[in-house]
Amino acid sequence: MKPVFDEDGHATEAGIIRAYYFDPITGEYTGWSDEFINVGVSMPGSSTDIDPGEESTGFAMVFTGKQWQKRENHRGEIAYSTSDRKSSVVDYIGPVREGFTLIAPSTHFDKWVDGKWVTDTAEQNESIVVSNTQQKAALILEASSYIAPLVDARDGGYIDDADIPVLSVWQKYRYALTKVDPSQPEWPERPAS
């Protein structure tokens, strides 16, 4: 037998009722149980006798105080800021917040334009040139570190005959590096150490 409640929500007749529970803060459905309600007792806290209906993947049922509402549920998914591409885990019920998207950018140079990621090729190319310029400088520095002691030995008159062609190969390599265009690099072959 189902309990009968008065206008204040207290049972005037005892009985068993299915209680549908919800989180007291978010209103999210958390489960159900069949409860025996004694005379003078109300429904358990944070519960209702209104059935939330079937659960759906990607949605959460939320009790509003009068009815259940189906709301988007992206919790645990990765959202990306449309201003700086930074990722964060969604930890709330509802649609993805303004300024975020569930679509992952494909490069570090993507910008959010008209609802999609677009690669800023100018910025991407500039980054490649900067990287190539740094690589060029590092390779020239490495070549110079091989050349310096050989030049000292040559200038001091104590270079081994076997080191004279090694010096020449490294000098030619370093010179070829100075000619490399960082925007379209064609790297010369590095001499054996």
pLDDT at 1 over 90: no
The number of residues making up the chain comes to 193
97-119: buried (b, 16+ CB within 10 Å) or exposed (e) per residue?
Answer: eeebbeeebeeebbebeeeebee
User: In percent, how much of the chain has pLDDT > 70?
Assistant: 100
Does 20 fall in a domain? yes
Phi, psi of 188 (to 5 degrees): -70, 155
C-alpha separations of 97 from 88, 91, 101, 165 in Å? 12, 11, 8, 66
Q: What per-residue confidence (pLDDT) applies to 151?
A: 97
* CA separation for the pair 59, 73 (Å, rounded): 5
Decide if pLDDT at 182 tops 80: yes
Please write the tens of the pLDDT for every residue from 109-160. Answer: 999 999 999 999 999 999 999 999 999 999 999 999 999 999 999 999 999 9
pLDDT for the residue 10: 95
Cα separation, 74 vs 97, in Å, equals 11
183 domain residue, yes or no: no
pLDDT reading at 166 higher than 80:
yes
State the Cα–Cα distance between residues 73 and 6, nearest whole angstrom.
36
193 pLDDT exceeds 90? no
Count: domains in the chain: 3
Within a domain: 191: no
In a domain, 187, yes or no: no
Which domain covers residue 104, as residue numbers?
A: 78-119
Predicted pLDDT of residue 136: 98
Report the distance separating Cα 114 and Cα 37, nearest Å.
Answer: 56
113 with 135, same domain: the answer is no
